Amino acid sequence: MRISNREFLGELRRYYENDVFSPCLGVIITDLIGKTGSRKNFKDYSYLDEMKGYALERCINAVATKKFDINTRKNPVSYFYSTIYNSFLKYIKKEKQLTIAKKAAYEQELERIERIRNGTPH
């Protein structure tokens, strides 16, 4: 399904007027997240579901705080795509940092075990 800027803008306008998050708005956002997640540079991550969840949280926050200016901007698909894309990149960066920390802790533990085996516990 192609995501229409006109429909997306209309749903955002309705939300901004009455603060009711419609199911249609939710579908538009989750579809955009799904399409972004299926791109070749993201689709193979083992933590893609977590990335999508983080992006959904960021998008809902952007809607709730009315960060997209419906009076001057007319392309919510681009704005939210950027939000999703940047959320994915931020999550990947966080996961890489966590992986580096885990690897360092693992290597330290292996060194500690090796020292114990050699009779030098410190």
Total structural domains within the chain: 1
pLDDT at 2: 82
Domain that holds residue 80: 5-93
Q: How far, in Å, CA of 41 to CA of 59, rounded?
A: 20
Q: Write out pLDDT tens, residues 43-88.
A: 999 999 999 999 999 999 999 999 999 999 999 999 999 999 999 9
Q: How far, in Å, CA of 6 to CA of 25, rounded?
A: 12
pLDDT at 120: 77
Average pLDDT, the chain: 95
Q: Give domain status of residue 102, yes or no.
A: no
* pTM assigned to the model: 0.85
- Contact criterion met (CB below 8 Å) for 12 and 72: no
Q: Give domain status of residue 105, yes or no.
A: no
Q: Give domain status of residue 107, yes or no.
A: no
- Contact criterion met (CB below 8 Å) for 112 and 68: no
3-state secondary structure of 119: coil
Confidence band for 90, pLDDT divided at 50, 70 and 90: very high
